[in-house]
Amino acid sequence: MNLDILTLFPEMFEGPFSHSILKRAQEKGLVTINIYNIRNWATDKHKRVDDYPFGGGAGMVMMIDPVVRCIETMKATREYDEIIYLSPDGELLNQGIANQLSLKTNLLILCGHYKGIDERIRQHFITREISIGDYVLSGGEMAAVVLTDTIVRILPGVLNDETSALSDSFQDGLVSPPAYTRPFDYRGLKVPDILLSGNDREIARWRHEQALIRTEKRRPGLNLDQDMGSGVE
């Protein structure tokens, strides 16, 4: 998979993409992540990328020309399955959307900043708009990190244990059951005996039961909220 990210703040991606699972996925060649600075496509001598909003009001708006030039350069090199804009008014990200996007080959992600981007970009160049939650971030970069992580970690071969992504919370419409590790007894706080029984069937049954109880208690209706993204559209 190729994931191309367009941003005014490329440095914001350095940490998140250089560790752990995202780092390993890139090293294994399962994903190529390229970060491009939109400012490089600004044409005036000050490399200007934002301007005051028509009609007045607070905040700056990202200008159409540098963004469109940048998108056009990218489109000349690959055919994108989706050109995604991250915005608080986009469709709410969930596991189903991540699953769907993980089946794609080329994704372009545009990060907005300031008061957003010129609406004409959204209307004419963006194919999908995604929000990571009902709150406002300073820009799309953090959201792009979240989106990238949700997609990349489920690419086949990224996680060592192939089944572990499938048993994540949400993949079966349930949250995860509780997990424990050593010591068995911490200051009198004990791990449920069943987990030490060695009976795999009973343990699996217990975990499923716990997942059901937790889902009902914490996220009732979770499995009704989302299409899990089988890839059939």
Which residues contact ligand ADE by CB under 6 A? 86-88, 131-133, 135-137, 140, 143
SS3 204: helix
Closer Cβ to ligand ADE, 49 or 86, answer by number: 86
CB of 137 to ligand ADE, least distance (A): 4
Q: List Cα–Cα distances, 54 to 7, 118, 119, 171, 185, in angstroms.
A: 23, 10, 11, 44, 65
Q: At what angle do helices 95-102 and 141-152 cross, to 10 degrees?
A: 70
* In the complex, least distance from residue 132 CB atom to ligand ADE, rounded to whole angstroms: 4
- CB nearer to ligand ADE: pick between 4 and 141: 141
Residue closer to ligand ADE by CB (options 80, 85) is 85
Q: Sign of dihedral through CA atoms 33, 37, 38, 41?
A: negative
State the minimum distance, in angstroms, from the CB of residue 111 to ligand ADE. Answer: 8
C-alpha 217 chain-centroid distance: 26
| Phi-psi group of 3: left, alpha or beta (phi > 0 → left; psi -120 to 50 → alpha; rest → beta) | beta
Shortest Å, Cβ 109 to ligand ADE: 10
Least spacing, CB of residue 77 vs ligand ADE, in Å: 25
Strand pairing report for 32-37 and 50-51: unpaired
Nearer to ligand ADE, 77 or 138 (CB): 138
> Which CB atom, from 136 or from 212, has the smaller least distance to ligand ADE?
136
Closest to ligand ADE by CB, 42 or 109: 109
How far is it, in rounded angstroms, from Cα 126 to Cα 150? 20
Burial class for 147, CB neighbours closer than 10 Å (0-12, 13-18, 19+): buried
CB of residue 113 to ligand ADE, shortest distance in Å: 8
Which amino acid appears at position 111 of this protein? C
